[in-house]
Amino acid sequence: MNFLKFIAMIFLIGISSLLAQELTRDSMLSILDEENPSISIEKLLGYIKVDDDTNNYAKLEIVDKIISKTETLGLDNLHTDALYHKGILLYRLNRYHEAKNLFLIAKSFYGRQRDKYGLRKVYEELGYCFERLGFQDSALVFFEKDLDISTSLQIDSTLSIAYTNLGHANWRTGRFTEALNNFEKAYQIRKSLNKPAKMASSLNSIGSVYWKRGNYGKALEYFLESTRLREELKDSMGLTISLNNIGTVFQRMSYFDKAEQYFNDALNKSINTAYNFGTAYSYYNLGLLNLESGNYQDALDYFFQSLEISEIVSDLNLIAMTNVYIGESYEKLEDYETARFYYLKSRDQAKNYDDGFSIAKANSNLARVLYKLNKSFNEIMLPLKRSYEISLEENLREIKKENYYLFYQLYNRENRIQEAFDYYKKYTEVKENILNENLVNNITNMIVKFELAKTETENELLKAEKALQASELENQKSIRNFIIIITILALILIVALSVLIKNKNKTAQQIAQQKGEVDKLNQELGKRNKDLKSSNETKDKLFSIISHDLRNPAGVLVNYCDYLNSELDQLDPRMLKNISSSIKKSSESILELVNNLLDWSRSQMGKIVVNPERVSIAAIFEHVKTIYENYANLKKLSLKIELKSDIHVLADLHMIDSVLRNLVSNALKFTPSGGTIRLTAEIDNRMCKISVIDNGIGMSEELQKSLLNSEYNTSNKGTDNEKGTGLGLLLSKEFIKLNGGKIELESKESEGSKFWFTLPLN
């Protein structure tokens, strides 16, 4: 019986709600018949403007009546506003084509009425529509028009929205520099207006650009600040996005447990707030995490959950990318036909959305799986060429690298060796460029990891301090209780007082001891941080030198060895001779670099011992001339010693010999055929000034400053394309400094250079 009453009550509530809604709609429509239609229509448009999804269909009926009424009465401005508001309602109902058409009509009317405010808002809505329909370039055009008008109107709130929309459009089309510039301008405006919710959104957008560029330290900095603001504002939806983005940073830095924690936190928040896009995005990120971790079946489960919700919210970009990674999961499980199906599906969806990255990614993956299925040359080339074209247009280097390798594999399979070799060279070049760029980001990210570890250590110390404070508070509470007891129980005053003093002294000793331990820990941490900083500086120097000079010749050796290993039987003697010559040059370059690098690193670690002795400048000049005379003759250069009388200095013979060889070697490299290199020495202010002078190509003032002031030297090619290691001058500066002298240079472009250094006389 009670159950039946409950059902009846629910039924009556539903009927009452429907009647109330009908009454509201009818009462709204009756306003149109009032004596002053302009005022009543403005009221109705204000009601329609409110974003209330439950009444959108009722509002459509009302706005249609307004459009008809304003047209009949000739109220042109209100008629245009009504068309605009109907477009807003259709957009809310995901009817983007219809909304776009109405906005285009409204744009025409606003243009005739010279209404800049109306044009600005309709350009903004047209940008949103084209974005949803997948026409990213058209969206970009309308957002730029919105920005132009917003700039002329000088309304900061709308200007910040215009910069943000333009930033997102640039981000989606791979124009990351422009996107960053627009997001930063939007943030500065919002900061000046003190709009914390909007500031958090801008910070999140800026972080996404750094994330896309691989600078995870900067990305994390902006994501964390965005999260802090959103937590203060209790913005659950915004927090969902920020938490997901922080998770992606930790995933890229291989903190998989932390990444999973943030993704799950984001998922729970989005489910609790019924935020469908946040839920789909969280499932998508959990799928990517499991795909990278090798849990392919779990990845598929997450991707399918993301796909189901993405289709409900009509997020075309997320749908296309989810299908790409579903395909990759099946490819990892060696189910190539299913992978092929999802790559085709993703490609077709991305075409509708005009998403260059997704189209290029889907086509590249499709070509790879077709190769694994041993399909024909032409069938594989069709998607591969399309992916390659887009990767060139939008500078998608990772996809371009994958394309070059697929070209190499395909031509190699067809036994077209020369074309395969050409694409393999391109593949290695792009791969090396990406590795060199990533090395800088990896060093930055290593520093971020160190900072995270340091923060955790500091948190432990803070916990210890808090425990100490809690102990102090507890002791104070005990003292207070004792005083109360003493006051109430006067009869036991002497006994209680003695106990109190005893406990207090003991507590003070414990507190002092604990404080001493904490101070000791702080001192130890400071010492370790100082040592680690010094170690990091030396490590950074080594990484910079190795990434700049050792990686390239070593990479060439490995690549040529790989190529010889796989293609030896097909190579003719001429190509073998060319390859062996390249291997010899790379080996010599590596040997020279390693010798210099060992000497330099020993000097950095303080392991080089200076052995000063009486050194004859004439003898060392003759020794160096003997070493380089044949090379000078080959380049048709004159190597001269200009010394009036012998001079003796007090220096380490091995170091000075190394310095002079480096300077003469550089002079020979950068002096064209027919030139002259002169070795001179003279006494200047109780020091011996030794000079290496050439009439070669010289150098600009900017390069001179860089060579003298930079901590790391650069390397350039010589007149015959000789490759330097970049360590020569760096090592020379270290050695001369250890011997109590200094090194300087003078140079003019096209006239030559003069390097000179000083040493103490014997």
pLDDT in tens, 617-627: 999 999 899 88
The CA distance from 83 to 118, in Å, is 11
From first CA to last CA, the distance across the chain in angstroms is: 117
Contact 662, 624 (CB under 8 A): no
The predicted-structure confidence for 270-317, as pLDDT tens digits, reads as follows 999 899 999 999 999 999 999 999 999 999 999 999 999 988 887 777
Q: Which residue has the higher pLDDT, 653 or 484?
A: 653
Q: How far apart are CA 84 and CA 102, in angstroms?
A: 7
Going through 49-189 in order, the beta strands assigned E by DSSP cover none
**What pLDDT does residue 393 have?**
79
Whether the pLDDT of residue 461 is over 50: the answer is no
Q: Would you state the pLDDT for residue 407?
A: 93
- Are 216 and 445 spatial neighbours (Cβ–Cβ below 8 Å)? yes
Instruction: Give, in degrees to the nearest 5, the angle at Cα 102 between 98 and 104.
Output: 115
Q: Confidence class of residue 322 from pLDDT cuts 50, 70 and 90?
A: very high
Burial 59-93 (b: 16+ CB within 10 A, else e): bbebbebbbebbeeeebeebbbbbbbbbbbbbbee
The DSSP bridge partners found for residue 640 are: 678
- Predicted model pTM: 0.50
Pairing of strands 638-642, 676-684: parallel
Tokens 């958090």, located at residue: 200
Q: Residue 464 — very low, low, confident or very high, per pLDDT cuts 50/70/90?
A: very low
pLDDT tens column, 143-154: 999 989 989 988
Mean pLDDT of 85-108: 88
Q: Please, are residues 713 and 707 in contact by the beta-carbon 8 Å criterion?
A: yes
Q: How confident is the model over 219-243, as a mean pLDDT?
A: 89
Give every CB contact of residue 319 below 8 A, 6+ residues apart in sequence: 307, 310, 311, 349
Q: What's the longest Cα–Cα distance across the chain? A: 125
Sign of CA dihedral 37, 40, 46, 50: negative
* Token digits of residue 634: 């080959």
What does the radius of gyration of the chain's CA atoms come to, in whole angstroms? 37
CB 752 within 8 A of CB 698: yes
Give the mean pLDDT of 9-33: 44
Across residues 583-609, what is the average pLDDT? 62
Q: What count of Cα atoms within 13 Å lies in the side-chain half-sphere of residue 754?
A: 10
Rounded to whole angstroms, how far apart are CA atoms 26 and 70?
19
Residue 217 has pLDDT above 90, yes or no: no
Q: How buried is 224 (Cβ within 10 angstroms: 0-12 exposed, 13-18 middle, 19+ buried)?
A: middle
Mean pLDDT of 25-35: 53
Q: Which residues are CB-contacts of 146 (< 8 A; sequence separation ≥ 6)?
A: 120, 123, 124, 127, 162, 165, 166
Structure tokens at 300: 């598929």
Kindly report, residue by residue over 708-762, the tens digit of the pLDDT: 664 545 556 666 666 554 567 878 888 899 899 999 999 999 899 999 999 999 8
Higher pLDDT, 621 or 472: 621
- Which tops the pLDDT comparison, 269 or 514? 269
Helix (H) or strand (E) holding 748: strand 743-748
Nearest to 128 by CA among 91, 170, 153, 93: 91
Provide DSSP, 315-370: -HHHHHHHHHHHHHHHHHTT-HHHHHHHHHHHHHHHHHHT-HHHHHHHHHHHHHHH
Does pLDDT of 476 surpass 70? no
SS3 757: strand
pLDDT number for residue 759:
95
Residue 399 and residue 395: Cα distance in Å, rounded? 9
Cβ atoms of 663 and 732 within 8 Å: the answer is: yes
Written as one string, the DSSP assignment of 678-697 is EEEEEEETTEEEEEEEE-S-
* Per-residue pLDDT, 448: 45
Are 698 and 749 in contact by the 8 Å Cβ rule? The answer is yes
**pLDDT for residue 529:** 60
Which residue blocks in 489-572 are alpha helix, DSSP H? 493-545, 551-567
The whole-number pLDDT of residue 541 equals 54
pLDDT for residue 449 is more than 60: no
Counting Cβ atoms within 10 Å, is residue 481 exposed (0-12), middle (13-18) or buried (19+)? exposed
Helix runs in 214-315, H state only: 216-233, 236-252, 256-272, 276-293, 296-313
The predicted model gives 69-77 an average pLDDT of 84
Helix or strand (DSSP H, E) at 616: strand 613-616
SS3 call for 761: strand
pLDDT of residue 392: 84
Q: What is the pLDDT of residue 602?
A: 60
Please give the Cα distance from 48 to 63 (Å, whole number). 8
pLDDT of residue 457: 41
**Tokens 């090194």 label which residue?**
743
Q: Which residue, among 25, 43, 113, 125, has the nearest Cα to 84 in the 3D structure?
A: 125
Mean pLDDT to the nearest integer, 429-450: 56
Average pLDDT, the chain: 79
Confidence band (pLDDT; 50, 70, 90) for 252? confident
For the cut 60, the answer to whether the pLDDT of residue 443 exceeds it is no
- Give, for 598, the enclosing helix (H) or strand (E): helix 573-604
Average pLDDT of span 574-601: 65
CA–CA gap between residue 23 and residue 27 (Å, rounded): 6
Predicted confidence at residue 85, as pLDDT, reads: 85
